[in-house]
Chains A and B, each alone.
Chain A
Amino acid sequence: MFKVGIPRALLYYQYYPMWQVFFEELGAGVVISPTTTPAVLAAGSSRLVADTCLPAKVFIGHVISLVGKCDCIFIPAIRSVKNDVYNCSKFLGLPDMTRATVPESPPILDIDVDINRGKRQLYQAIYRLGRHFTWNPVKIKRAALTAWQTYQRHRQTMAGEKLMLSQVMEAREAGQRPPAKPEPYRATIAVIGHPYILFDVYVNHRIVRRLEQANIRVVTPEMLTVSELTAATARMVGGAYWTYEEEIVGAGGHYLQNTVDGVIGVMAFGCGPDSLMMDMVDRRAARLKSTPFMSITLDEHTAEAGLVTRLEAFTDMIQRRKKGR
């Protein structure tokens, strides 16, 4: 069987149900790279210039780990998923950057997703992608529709049942329903950031898990509905500029004004969009003076002990604040 490789990094966390269903509907097998390990990151870092952002290094590492295990690698170039927004250069350059830095990689399947150029262009791009697997346009259309519906359901599950992406992912891989969360908790903390940072446990040193172990309920951006995110983004900056701005600015803006005891922003060093967006959230928090905000920048050198200390200090502070009220 023809096998499509999907690196477990970057947009995988956003769209994996959609991609997997699409390729499986077309009769291809899907191989997903294993979770990030120190070796994966080291392999990725060795191929790229030093100031490339952490998630991109992880991504290249995953591509390298897929070499020899699949017949092609799926790397989309997503420019925009909404009108008048734009994506970080790294997502646009990803297929070409991979080709240049991992010459031994199997052929790369890329697809241009750019809503600004109109729906027709998008449909043609999907069709071209499907043509690698079948000549039958009807089959491609059906696969694309099924994939889209799966993705919608996936989003609704997380927003509706307030589930974290990691819970849904684990349940999906184990084939069960996600477990209920333990009650009661000491405090609720919103952790905001891109899913590829928040749910790559190696990259973020299990930040979510650590908070949960401290008996804290963690809420994340994907638990919010699209309309909540859009409304909060509009309040903060007028309208999204970046393709994935709502995860940061929208979620940050929403949680800063809604029922959480603290907000932690997690970003990667060298992330261009985040350096601006986290700053927006930071400034809003400083002006509102209602909810504590802490921003954590991760890179490949982040020492675990330092991170743990900061988390402890933050949760202690929140605890004291709650008592003081």
Chain B
Amino acid sequence: MGNLYVALGAMLQRLDMDYVIPPPTSQRTLALGVRHSPEGLCIPFKLTLGNLIEAAELGADTWLMPAGYGICRLGYYAKTQEQILQDIGYGHVNVVGIGVSQDKLSGLLRTVKSLSNNASWLKIISAFRFGLSKMSAMDRLERLTQKVRAVELAKGTASALLVQGVKEIDHADDYRTLKKVEKDYAEQLGQVPVDEQIKPLVVGVIGEFYVVLEPFSSFDIESELGKLGVEVRRSTFISGWTKLSYLFNPFAAKEKDRIHRAAMPYLKRDVGGDGWESVGEKVLHAGSYDGIVHLAPFTCMPEIIARNIMPRTKEDIPVLTVLCDEQMAKTGLVTRLEAFVDLLARRRRRDYNR
């Protein structure tokens, strides 16, 4: 999912575990996943299944998948994917579910411990910390890129820098190199020639975390928006999503709280997934953004609830809902984005003239 592999790879390497990183999510991944999935499932299931199959082809025999109750259908995925993999001939595989809700961080750490031939706790924790700092380094670069993309003179410069940066972060082996790479690329991003005159439109990207974080599933919607001269903001980052990051960054928890409080008048309970957050973010950012792009996988239950409630909130802001599934086509998406951005620009002019 997105750049998560970099952080996990770093962690597993530090634990001397043998790991396989499947090839980046591609059209083939999607085709494999779709072929073997039940039709009614969401794109995250299909893509992760595709990833698992591709990993199995490379010889992986154990997978870590989030599981446990309290989170939409995701908790059931490990069970189903194991069955599917066995049915298509990977009988020796073992999908290890990590109960993200009932066993919390300690459970996750214990699962890792048992898989790593009982490495010492010290080693596990330090590996975790290293993985997390890689995550936050990548997120920082990503945030900078979102800003630069909208106003850069030569379109695509920032995105290319980000790709480079992530690659180097992946190669960094210790904290010092990591810090240096992070600083280096942050400076480079700061020096990209930009048009100082433009005050770009601000669009928030909200929605279900997998499709928000995995560019493949939304045709890299953020770069597309950047090309249209839009500054993208989002509060879902990998480092913010993994609940353990709360340990290291108490502000992330506070931000979530703020979003939940904003949603309260319209949706009183957690409906699993990110439905609650979607409603909350719309309400919260209605005043500060020009528009919102809401990404949701087709048939995602929590997002359906959110989409039914969102149009009725008192706080008003244009929302473009993009449903991600295997039928989506890039041209259609770009056309919709162009129309949406035009609408936002006109709205801003109107408000300015008033």
Interface of A toward B, CB cutoff 8 Å = 48-49, 51-53, 77, 79-80, 84-86, 88-90, 92-93, 95-97, 99-101, 103, 112, 237-238, 241-242, 269-276, 278-280, 283, 286, 297
What A residues does B79 contact at CB under 8 A?
237-238, 241, 280
12 more A-B contacts (CB under 8 A) besides A90-B304, A93-B275, A280-B80?
A: A48-B308, A51-B299, A52-B308, A86-B272, A88-B301, A89-B275, A92-B272, A93-B267, A93-B302, A103-B312, A241-B79, A276-B77
| Contact of A241 with B75 in the complex, beta carbons under 8 Å | yes
Contacts of A278 in B (CB 8 A): 38
Does B309 interact with chain A (Cβ within 8 Å)?
A: yes
Binds A, one of B65-73, B157-165, B193-201, B234-242: B65-73
Cβ distance A13 to chain B, nearest Cβ, rounded Å: 20
Partner of B38, one of A48, A100, A103, A275: A275
Q: Is there an interface contact between A84 and B69, defined as CB atoms closer than 8 Å?
A: yes
* A241 x B76 contact (CB < 8 A): yes
Q: CB distance A112 to B102 under 8 Å?
A: no
Which residue of the partner chain, among A96, A276, A286, contacts B309 with CB atoms under 8 Å? A96
Q: Which residues of A contact B75 (CB under 8 A)?
A: 86, 241
CB-defined contacts of A237 to chain B, threshold 8 Å: 79
Cβ contact of B40, chosen from A101, A242, A269, A280, cutoff 8 A: A269
- Inter-chain contact B41/A276, CB cutoff 8 Å: yes
Report yes or no: B38 in contact with A89, Cβ–Cβ below 8 A: no
Identify which of B70, B267, B299, B307 contacts A272 (C-beta below 8 A).
Answer: B299
Determine whether the beta carbon of B302 is less than 8 Å from that of A270. Answer: no
13 A-B residue contacts at CB 8 Å?
Answer: A51-B304, A51-B323, A79-B269, A86-B70, A89-B271, A90-B301, A92-B269, A92-B272, A97-B309, A100-B309, A271-B40, A275-B38, A280-B80
Q: Which B residues are CB-close (under 8 A) to A52?
A: 304, 308
User: Roughly how many angstroms separate A27 CA and B39 CA in the complex, as a whole number?
Assistant: 48
Instruction: Sort A-B residue pairs by CB-CB distance and give the 9 closest, nearest first.
Output: A275-B40, A93-B305, A86-B69, A89-B301, A279-B38, A89-B271, A272-B301, A100-B312, A100-B309
Cross-chain contact of B307 among A49, A95, A238 (Cβ < 8 A): A49
